[in-house]
Structure 1
């Protein structure tokens, strides 16, 4: 497997708050407070993952139905298959004001994405693990711009305003058992090896 570095760097750092003990309020230094605050994310997260055997990297990957317009994407196409057999790894920077701290807020973002897709799948949003991080899983069934009905298994990881989406896509009716198995195994390899590096 080949290690893939995907996407642009980000400025997001997790904030750690420390509280002091005692009866007196300590003098505070405004400069030290400013330097301890974490800056808000200004770009999609930088990612790496292992590209599984049997897939070829797609240059200049574009997402047909992005969650938001500010994104960076990489894609892998299943060898000897049409462009409907893809693994997308997409990193987004959500608009300021989008809330993603709770599961309900995260599910609201996923529901908006369902609306954009015209998702016909009636399944539920479920918890998922990707690269050791907890996220959400949602299956989609929709017609793409070429008129083909495709399935997508979408996994969403939230980090403040940064959103990472791993999408595994295949044709609804024309896929063979071998293609579906290859897609499943390829997706598992990408998801298990995915790392947020910046």
Structure 2
């Protein structure tokens, strides 16, 4: 902290008071100083671990380095954050899945695995077999989370498809944040809470037509 503060104060003093002295320093000398700063601050050990880290991380390291050299550090940071966010969304989108079983009452239960958000909404829709499913289908979110509006739209659209087929779709094991999100969107037919430890599961019916994505 002291070093950073001192560097900032000295830089301010040079700019405000000693700018004529800076003009005397040859440009080549300033370039040399900047090269030494780069050599001292670059994380050289990152080159040694490129083969050990995930491919997306290695790509981000190389990309940020290249953008820094070609443009500037601020642009490189923005590009790195965007690419990392897209890579994270893509990885989570491919993790959506479901285990299925039938209850003694004849209902089919889909145990969703992985987060449900804009990146996995299409994969979520592909999990269901509306034509072959029984009259009652339960979607269990014990191992999943409803994250955003795209997830809400995907749930509503699936409920509408089952409704058109003369069948019913219910939701089970909603966490508190998922319940709040769905209740705020007006998609829950009943106002009740799952036990947070899932000692008592509530099967929620889905109200369609709330987000204009049902049909």
Give the alignment's TM-score, normalised by structure 1: 0.29
Higher normalized helix content (fraction of residues):
2
Give the alignment's TM-score, normalised by structure 2: 0.27
Higher normalized strand content (fraction of residues):
1
